[in-house]
Chains A and B, each alone.
Chain A
Amino acid sequence: MGFLAAVGRAFIAFLAGTGRIALFTGNSVMHCVRPPIYPRLIVRQMIEVGYYSLPVVGLTAVFTGMVLALQSYTGFSRFNAESVIANVVVLSITRELAPVLAGLMVAGRIGAAMAAEIGTMRVTEQIDALSTLSTNPFKYLVAPRLIAGLVTLPLCVLAADVIGVFGGYLVSVHKLGFNPAIYLKSTWDFLEALDVISGLVKAGVFGFLISLMGCYHGYNSKGGAQGVGAATTNAVVSASVLILSSNYLITEAFFSTVP
C-alpha cells in the first residue's frame, strides 16, 4: 500500500508540475505577443544568448567536425573517402550535432544564467517590486528571453554548421591529404536544404525550451541562495532532457517518411 501511495504521489506531483509549466508557457507566450513589448530588453537578451555564446558554440562545432572527419576516415578509408567523409560530416553536423551540441552548451551557459538572475530577483522581491511599478514581470523578464532564445539559437547553429564543416575540411585536407576542391564540391553536392532547415527548426525549439526552463525555474524559486542554486540546476537538467527528447520527436517528424 505504502508503495502504491508513493507512486501515486509522485505521479500526481508530475502531473501538477506539467500543468504548472503549461500554464507558465501559455502565460509567457501570450505576453510575448501582447503589447507593450520591450525592444531594448529583447536586443540585450539576444546579445547575451547569441553573441556571447558564439565562442563556445564555435569551439564545440569545430572540434566536432574535426573528430567526425577523423573517425569516419578510420571507418570508410577504403574508397571514395573524399565524398563519403564530406557527406558524413555535413549531414551529421547540420542535422544533429550542431543543433544538439549547441543547444546543450547554451543550456549550460544561458539556462543557468537566466535561472540564477530571475531566481535572485524572486528571492530579493525584485519581481514583486516590478508589479508595483506598472510592469508585468512576464513581459519584462520572461518574454524578451523567450524571444531571444527562439530567434538567436538558430543563428548560432547556422554559424555552427559552417564552422563544423570547416573543422571537417581542416582535418580532411591538412591531415588526411584530401583534395580541397573535391572535398568542398562533395560537401556542396550532398547538402540539402532540408538538412539545414530541420537543424534550424530544432535550434529554434531548443532555444525556446532553454529560455523557458531558465525563466520557469528562476521565477518559481523559493528560499534564499540555496533555492536559487536548486533552480539553476533544475533549469539546466530539465532543458537538457527536453532538448534530447524533443530532438528525437522533431527528427521523426522531418525524416520518418524518408526510408
Chain B
Amino acid sequence: MTEIDNKIEVRDLRKAFSGKVVLDGVDLDVPRGESLVVIGGSGTGKSVLIKNIIGIIHPDRGSIKVDGEEAVGMKARDREAVTAKFGMLFQGGALFDSLPVWENVAFGLMAGHGTSRVDGKEIAIEMLRQVGLAPAVAELSPSELSGGMQKRVGLARAIATKPEILFFDEPTTGLDPIMADIINDLILQCVRELGATALSITHDMISARKIADRVAMIHAGKIIWTGAISEIDHSGNPYVDQFINGRAEGPIQMEIGKP
C-alpha cells in the first residue's frame, strides 16, 4: 500500500452549509513529514477544510484518513486518540480568555500529558520566548495582547505539545515582515527537526515559498492544482498564476463589482 506514506488523505470531501456548497469533492494528500500549504481566495473553504480534518466540522460525504485510519464517522473515543495527534492554530486565535497567557500555552501539556503547573509554566515561558514574546507576557490575559501577539500565543499553544500533525490557519497574518519570518522559521523547525507533518493555510506568498514543500490551490470547492513549491511559478495553471501574482484580471472572478 502506497498510501501509508501519506499522513493525511482526503478523498471526495463534500460540505455544504444550508444548501451553500463550500467543499465540492476535495482530494488532498499530505505526505508524512512534509509541509503542505493550501492557498486560495478568501471564502473558498480553506478553514472549513482544516476543520473537517480535525473533526470539529462533520463532512456531508467523503473520506478522511489519518495514518491510514478512517476518521469520518469514527466513535468519540477513537476520535480523541486521533485528535491527540493534532495541534491547531486557529485563524482567530481562539485563546481561552479566562486563563492567563501561560496557562493557554501549557494547556495541552497539563490536560493531556500530565505536566504539573510548575513545569507547565516553565515550558510556556520558553515557548513564548520562541515566538518572540517576553516572559512578562505570560501573566497577562489574552485580551491584553495585540492581534499579532495573540496569533503568536496561539502558535505557541499549538506546538507546545509537539504534536505529530500541525495545522496553521494563516500563521503570519497580522504580523510584521520580520516577525513573520521568525514564525516561518519556527514552523520549518517543527517540520524539519521534530519531524511533524504540517498543513498550513496562507495568503502570504512569501511565507508559502518559505515553509512549503508542496502547495495545493483550492478554488470553487475543489483542489485545482497541487505541486512542489519549486513548480509554482511554472504551474501552467492560469488560476495559480493569477493568485500568486495577485492580479485582478484572470479566470478567478471576484464577486465585487459584478453587475
Contacts and interface: CB of A to CB of B under 8 A. Distances in A.
Interface of A: 117, 121, 124-126, 128-136
B177 interface: no
Interface of B: 51, 54-56, 80, 83-84, 86-88, 90, 92, 94-98, 107-108, 111-113, 157-158, 161
Contact of A131 (B83, B95, B157): B83
Nearest to A135: B111
B90 A134 contact: no
B96 A132 contact: no
B112 A129 contact: no
Given A128-B51, A128-B56, A135 B94 contact: no
B90 A128 contact: yes
Nearest to B113: A134
Contact of B94 (A117, A126, A134, A136): A126
A121 B161 CA distance: 22
Contacts of A130: 96
Contacts of B112: 133-135
28 contacts: A124-B92, A125-B94, A126-B94, A126-B95, A126-B96, A126-B97, A128-B51, A128-B56, A128-B94, A129-B88, A129-B94, A129-B95, A129-B96, A131-B83, A132-B56, A132-B83, A132-B88, A132-B158, A133-B107, A133-B108, A133-B111, A133-B157, A134-B80, A134-B84, A134-B108, A134-B111, A134-B113, A134-B161
Nearest to B158: A132
Most buried by B among A129, A130, A133, A134: A133
Given A133-B111, A135-B107, A135-B111, A125 B92 contact: yes
A36 to B, nearest CB: 9
Contacts, number: 51
A126 B95 CA distance: 6
Pick the 4 closest A-B CB pairs, nearest first.
A134-B112, A125-B94, A133-B108, A129-B94
A121 B111 CA distance: 18
A126 B93 CA distance: 9
A124 B161 CA distance: 22
A125 B107 contact: no
Nearest to A117: B98
A129 B87 CA distance: 9
Given A128-B51, A128-B56, A134 B92 contact: no
A132 B86 contact: yes
B111 A132 contact: no
A131 B55 CA distance: 9
Nearest to A44: B98
A135 B110 CA distance: 10
Contacts of B113: 134
A126 to B, nearest CB: 5
A131 B80 CA distance: 8
B147 to A, nearest CB: 13
Contacts of B55: 131
Most buried by B among A125, A129, A130, A136: A129
Contacts of A135: 107, 111-112
Contacts of A133: 107-108, 111-112, 157, 161
B87 A132 contact: yes
Contacts of B158: 132
A129 B90 contact: yes
A120 B119 CA distance: 30
Given A124-B94, A132-B158, A134-B84, 4 more contacts: A126-B96, A128-B94, A132-B88, A133-B157
A132 B167 CA distance: 10
Contacts of A124: 92, 94, 97
A128 B92 CA distance: 12
A134 B83 contact: yes
A221 B111 CA distance: 25
Contacts of B54: 132
B166 to A, nearest CB: 11
Contacts of A136: 80
A166 to B, nearest CB: 37
Contacts of A134: 80, 83-84, 108, 111-113, 161
Contacts of B161: 133-134
A126 B84 CA distance: 17
A117 B97 CA distance: 10
